[in-house]
């Protein structure tokens, strides 16, 4: 009986490893394909002869991309969004979540929580939001991509629940010693919430990095484009050139692939640093409430 259990366990492990390898292969293949096209000559890319190995190896596409002034400004704009924007998101989320997690010392907590949850399902719509951004003088500014979405209600709930999972006795002991609410927040709650903060930082950073629709509405200056909006412009230009409608001065497929691959690198570099906090942060914040 014991031998059979050991055999089944080994078989189960082999199946898991094979499944993970298959999923990894499916996930990584598009990246390799894009990278291979970015390093290949245009003739082989247009002929659809490039799969996972570059043909007619060349760095020309990357040289073209990195020399492009609009691309460099777009990259800096996106870096600004994920640093400053994520910082503002986390600060406001923490400052909202902490009082909402203190049931005894914050009257009207349920009312404010209902208002936050209400915005998860209903909003003013595109036109009213556009009018607010325009009337507040944020048009054609990167702040228009940060301030209107300073707090995500879902992330706020995760942060609030994480704060609630921290024993009240720690805060009460600090208050007995004379600590204020601000002192409790910065010396007890935040240090104990590093995993949740890292997880939400990743959520906010990825949202800023991938967002292009708001920039499409609010940004008209090409030098203020975030990277994803510039990438959209490149893809449309390439598709138009292939259709024959706008072939003059259009970027090549190699340039398109190089731009796409470079745009993946920064966010892929961020994830390994917060991955160890990810599961813990999301699970603890989701279980208790």
Inform me whether the pLDDT recorded for 58 exceeds 60.
Answer: yes
For residue 86, what pLDDT is reported?
92
Inform me whether the pLDDT recorded for 104 exceeds 50.
Answer: yes
Tell me the percentage of the chain whose pLDDT exceeds 70: 87
Inform me whether the pLDDT recorded for 194 exceeds 80.
Answer: yes
Q: Residues 6 or more apart from 233 whose CB is under 8 A from it?
A: 225
For residue 88, what pLDDT is reported?
94
- Per the CB < 8 A criterion, the answer to whether 192 and 186 are in contact is no
This prediction has a pTM of 0.79
The angle, 0 to 180 degrees and rounded to 10, between the axes of the packed helices 86-101 and 109-121 is: 140
Q: Is 29 helix (H, G, I), strand (E, B) or coil?
A: helix
Q: Which of 240 and 289 is assigned the larger pLDDT?
A: 240
CA distance 39 to 262: 12
Inform me whether the pLDDT recorded for 61 exceeds 50.
Answer: yes
pLDDT band, very low/low/confident/very high, at 287 (cuts 50, 70, 90): very low
Q: Which of 270 and 76 is assigned the larger pLDDT?
A: 76
For residue 92, what pLDDT is reported?
93
Q: What is the mean pLDDT of residues 54-82?
A: 85
Q: What is the mean pLDDT of residues 139-163?
A: 88
Of the given ranges (42-46, 267-271, 284-288), which has the lowest mean pLDDT? 284-288
CA distance 239 to 251: 10
Residue corresponding to tokens 């279980």: 287
């Amino acid at each position: 009986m014991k031998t059979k259990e050991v055999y089944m366990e080994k078989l189960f492990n082999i199946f898991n490893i094979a499944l993970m390898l298959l999923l990894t292969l499916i996930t990584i293949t598009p990246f390799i394909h894009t990278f291979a096209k970015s390093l290949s000559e245009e003739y082989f890319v247009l002929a659809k002869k490039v799969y996972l190995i570059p043909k007619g190896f060349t760095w020309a596409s990357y040289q073209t991309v990195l020399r492009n002034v609009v691309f460099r400004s777009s990259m800096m704009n996106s870096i600004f969004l994920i640093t400053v924007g994520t910082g503002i998101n986390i600060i406001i989320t923490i400052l909202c979540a902490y009082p909402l997690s203190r049931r005894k010392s914050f009257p009207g907590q349920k009312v404010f929580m209902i208002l936050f949850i209400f915005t998860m399902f209903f909003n003013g719509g595109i036109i009213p939001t556009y009018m607010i951004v325009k009337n507040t003088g944020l048009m054609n500014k990167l702040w228009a991509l940060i301030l209107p979405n300073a707090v995500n209600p879902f992330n706020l709930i995760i942060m609030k629940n994480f704060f609630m999972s921290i024993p009240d006795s720690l805060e009460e002991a600090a208050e007995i010693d004379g600590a204020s609410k601000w002192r409790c927040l910065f010396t007890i709650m935040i240090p104990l919430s590093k995993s949740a903060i890292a997880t939400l930082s990743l959520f906010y950073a990825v949202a800023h990095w991938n967002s292009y629709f708001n920039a499409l509405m609010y940004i008209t200056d090409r030098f203020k484009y975030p990277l994803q909006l510039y990438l959209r412009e490149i893809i449309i230009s390439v598709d138009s050139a292939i259709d024959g409608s706008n072939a003059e001065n259009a970027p090549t497929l190699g340039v398109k692939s190089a731009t796409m691959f470079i745009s993946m690198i920064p966010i892929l570099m961020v994830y390994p640093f917060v991955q160890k906090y990810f599961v813990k942060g999301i699970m603890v914040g989701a279980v208790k409430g």
